[in-house]
Amino acid sequence: MTVKAIVSTPGPQANVPTQIRNVVLVGHSGAGKTTLFEHLIAATTPDYRPKPGLEERSVQLAVASVSYDGVALNLIDTPGYPDFVGELRAGLRAADAALFVVSASDGVDATTMLLWEECAAIGMPRAVAVTKLDKERADFEETVAICQRVFGDGVMAIYLPLHGDDEALIGNLGLLSQQIHDYSSGTRVEHGAEAEHRELIEGNRSELLEAIIQESEDDTLLDRYLGGEEIDVEVVTGDLLTAVSRGRLYPVIPVSTETGVGTYELLQLLTTAFPAPTLHPLPAATTPDGDPLQPLVCDPSGPLVAEVIRTTSDPYVGRVSIVRMFSGTLRPDSVVHVSGHLARFAGDERLEGHLGHDADERVGLLSSPLADLLRPKAMAIAGDLAVVAKLTKAETTDTLSSPNAPVLVEPWIFPDPLLPVAITAASKSDEDKLAGALARLVAEDPTMRLEHNSETHQVILWTMGQAHVDVLMSRLRDRYGVQVESEPLRMALRETFVSPANGHGRHVKQSGGHGQYAICDITVEPLERGAGFEFVDKVVGGAVPRQFIPSVEKGIRAQIAKGCLAGYPMVDLRVTLTDGKSHSVDSSDMAFQAAGALALKDATSPQTVTLLEPVDAVSLVVADEYVGAVMTDLQMRRGRVMGTEPDTSGRTAVTAEVPAAEVTRYAIDLRSVSHGTGTFTRTPLDYEPMPPNLVKDHLPG
């Protein structure tokens, strides 16, 4: 969240959690989420004008706390592009219900389908806003049918769109109320349905009524309805709201992101049908040491427990944290305990920059967010969202609690960043600032992993995709003043012998005084993968004095670590010391170390030594129709498909073993091959011989 201004007008202040609604807007990129988000703010906030920079906002989470009909409504706008799924996950964590924004001209993409299933798995209430109804090929009825087909039962239109002479959306027709909401004059006017709409109502209302009544807690209602009794609209509306809040019905509303048609009907639904935070399950809590605690309760008088949903550095107010309150009440200038142990829950010790930390810290001002604006907030109660300033030690996913009773909330799950990019500072001054800038980026963005590779000596950012890379580079440059350049990613290869070889090491130097004299002969044999290094002494007759045999081994081990063919560590070989010569005065430990190293180098040639490349175990899940294309693509990457297993949801799991060099850009390529339906994970597996034609590319000269 980039703060454009801080205003003095206070934001909405809920006194009890039942006055709060937390709603996240989700959907594919280009569906109109951010524009709808702005319309909802404008409809509830006098004199609000959308700010420039909506393109920038499309890659990050934004929050607006507004008030409508006595309810404090926290709207959370999330990016639709897959590279910024971390922002989406944060929005889902902060919300108690989800509004799916679907474009009538584009339909439902694979990512949105998967997200719906994810929300269904946790029972999150959902609704659908259909946008872009004034575009070519846009068809509300067809869009609803698509949603019913891909989202499943319970998706029902509760309003129908009304178009003007130029096909522009001018209003909607409420199927339950049988009222028209007309926006054609520039203001919303409500009146009863006219005769021309009766056929439209009758063709759609009965199916909606039956779906609502089937979810009613009044067991007699269905029999009364089927018996011909006219059911009171208020009763049916109440049953609808109950079914929506419990995640059993998913209403569909037509809206216009151009004119704001449907905005007020949508606000009515969000504030009356979606549940208060008291009804939403809360995450598990432990002490910072991992001891379990009693389940959290959304109670303002309870112990303080909040979670940092998003962290950023702002040029106006410094470090800014958006927090979701789970329990208790937070006030400005209070002392909190900040606890973060992301690596413990992720089970990944490679989460460099996300080291466990616990510290007490005094919070700064509390604010109520309004997109790019901040407004003063007197306190934040359980269930609410707030912006906290000056939490210098807090990172995204950290827990805030009382210093007297520290708590750690189990963080939400992030997908693995699978696109690596190696970076280097553009100048010496940039190099001096790079470490600090990267540390701040990591604290803000848990979907980025920082790696300092000790073998290739590269700084690697593990990211979600190319758009994510571009944003990170831009932040380094514009926010932290650090210029970086990308460079080719180097693989941590290995060298190994493929055939037996003999080596002769002669280290003889005489330059006055004591000289250096050591000669040794060795044989080298390849071992099976994973066997490591063996050293065998077969010297007879004292050709190499006993005290210098460890020196020969030490020199060979040192050369193994540096490599002989292309500068990569050697693995899986047996070295046998067979013969040598020494001098009573000039032989020494260092001389025999040098001779041992020279002997190993002498045994090395392109005929006896090859390179090994890392191989990853790759697990994919892809829509059935793209399995063939994915498997063909894997084979072109020198991969071996190990198995496939279809499931009942129309997707197939594929396992394969693929050289790591061939999947460095797979996060981008799989998206293209699978039309966005594929996901994958990769795990380091082993090292295998590199094809001879590729070995040549890595040899010096």
pLDDT at 538: 95
One domain, residues 63 and 127: yes
One domain, residues 64 and 147: yes
- Which of 607, 635, 663 is a domain's end point? 607
Q: What is the token pair recorded at 52?
A: 């420039």
Please check whether residue 20 lies inside any domain of the structure: yes
Q: What angle do CA 554, 556, 562 make, to 5 degrees?
A: 110
Distance CA 570, CA 527 (A): 11
Torsion angles phi and psi, residue 588, rounded to 5:
-155, 170
Query: H or E stretch including 169?
Result: strand 169-174
Q: List alpha helices for 637-689, DSSP H.
A: 666-673
Residue 574, beta-bridge partner list = 525, 534
Considering only CA atoms, which of 538, 667, 544, 682 is closest in space to residue 82? 667
One domain, residues 600 and 691: no
User: Averaged over 35-40, what is the pLDDT?
Assistant: 91
Torsion angles phi and psi, residue 669, rounded to 5:
-65, -40
Positive/negative CA dihedral, 121, 122, 126, 132: negative
Q: How many CB atoms lie within 10 A of CB 551?
A: 23
CB-facing half-sphere around the CA of 417: CA atoms within 13 A: 27
Band (185; pLDDT cuts 50, 70, 90): confident
Considering only CA atoms, which of 518, 521, 471, 525 is closest in space to residue 498? 525
Query: H or E stretch including 157?
Result: strand 155-157
pLDDT at 622: 94
Q: What would the pLDDT profile of 628-667 be if each residue is shown by its tens digit?
A: 999 999 999 999 999 999 988 788 999 999 999 999 999 9
Residue 180, beta-bridge partner list = 173, 191
pLDDT at 420 over 90: yes
- 3 state DSSP class of 345: helix
Distance CA 55, CA 38 (A): 13
Considering only CA atoms, which of 183, 175, 192, 165 is closest in space to residue 255? 183
Asked whether the beta carbons of 569 and 494 are under 8 A apart, the reply is yes
Distance CA 203, CA 588 (A): 100
Distance CA 244, CA 154 (A): 9
One domain, residues 530 and 655: no
pLDDT at 238: 86
Asked whether the beta carbons of 620 and 653 are under 8 A apart, the reply is yes
Q: What would the pLDDT profile of 439-468 be if each residue is shown by its tens digit?
A: 888 888 888 889 999 899 999 999 999 999
> Per-residue DSSP letters for 269-332?
HHHHTSPPGGGSPPPPEE-TTS-B-PPP---TTS--EEEEEEEEEETTTEEEEEEEEEESEE-T
pLDDT at 266: 95
Q: What would the pLDDT profile of 246-298 be if each residue is shown by its tens digit?
A: 888 999 999 988 888 999 999 999 999 999 999 988 999 999 998 999 999 99
Indicate which CATH number applies to the domain containing 568.
Answer: 3.30.230.10
Positive/negative CA dihedral, 239, 242, 244, 248: negative
User: Averaged over 395-413, what is the pLDDT?
Assistant: 93
Please check whether residue 224 lies inside any domain of the structure: no
One domain, residues 71 and 164: yes
Distance CA 117, CA 151 (A): 8
Considering only CA atoms, which of 403, 434, 393 is closest in space to residue 311? 393
pLDDT at 46 over 70: yes
- Which of 409, 443, 466 is a domain's end point? 409
pLDDT at 56: 45
Say which range, 29-43, 203-217, 501-515, has the weakest mean pLDDT: 203-217
Please check whether residue 357 lies inside any domain of the structure: yes
One domain, residues 24 and 170: yes
pLDDT at 53: 46
> 585 CB contacts (<8 Å, ≥6 apart)?
514, 515
One domain, residues 272 and 338: no
- With pLDDT > 90 as the criterion, what percentage of the chain qualifies? 61
One domain, residues 273 and 299: no
pLDDT at 50 over 60: yes
Q: What would the pLDDT profile of 660-674 be if each residue is shown by its tens digit?
A: 999 999 999 999 999
Q: What would the pLDDT profile of 132-169 be if each residue is shown by its tens digit?
A: 998 878 889 999 999 999 998 899 999 999 888 777 88
Please check whether residue 50 lies inside any domain of the structure: yes
Burial 159-177 (b: 16+ CB within 10 A, else e): bbbbeeeeeebbbbbbbbb
**Cα–chain center distance at 410:** 16
Please check whether residue 210 lies inside any domain of the structure: no
pLDDT at 114 over 90: no
Q: What angle do CA 202, 207, 212 make, to 5 degrees?
A: 125
pLDDT at 19 over 70: yes
**Cα–chain center distance at 271:** 29
DSSP state for residue 410 in the 8-state scheme: P
Say which range, 54-68, 105-119, 620-634, has the weakest mean pLDDT: 54-68
One domain, residues 151 and 20: yes
Indicate which CATH number applies to the domain containing 455.
Answer: 3.30.70.870
Domain extent for 473 = 419-487
Q: List alpha helices for 102-220, DSSP H.
A: 110-121, 140-151, 198-214
In this prediction the pTM is 0.86
Indicate which CATH number applies to the domain containing 651.
Answer: 3.30.70.240
CA distances from 467 to 61, 159, 476, 578, 668 (A): 15, 37, 14, 58, 10
Strand runs labelled E in 394-531? 399-401, 408-409, 419-425, 449-453, 458-463, 484-487, 494-497, 501-509, 516-526
Indicate which CATH number applies to the domain containing 71.
Answer: 3.40.50.300
Please check whether residue 231 lies inside any domain of the structure: no
One domain, residues 41 and 65: yes
Please check whether residue 1 lies inside any domain of the structure: no
User: How many domains are contained in the chain?
Assistant: 5
Q: What is the token pair recorded at 482?
A: 């650090």
- What strands lie across the sheet with 189-192, from one edge to the other? 159-163, 169-174, 179-182, 189-192
DSSP state for residue 305 in the 8-state scheme: E
**Cα–chain center distance at 599:** 50
Q: What is the token pair recorded at 168?
A: 């522009």
User: Averaged over 579-596, what is the pLDDT?
Assistant: 93
One domain, residues 621 and 655: yes
Say which range, 91-105, 322-336, 511-525, 584-598, has the weakest mean pLDDT: 511-525
- Which of 446, 466, 487 is a domain's end point? 487
Please check whether residue 185 lies inside any domain of the structure: yes
One domain, residues 270 and 178: yes
> 266 CB contacts (<8 Å, ≥6 apart)?
40, 99, 129, 253, 255
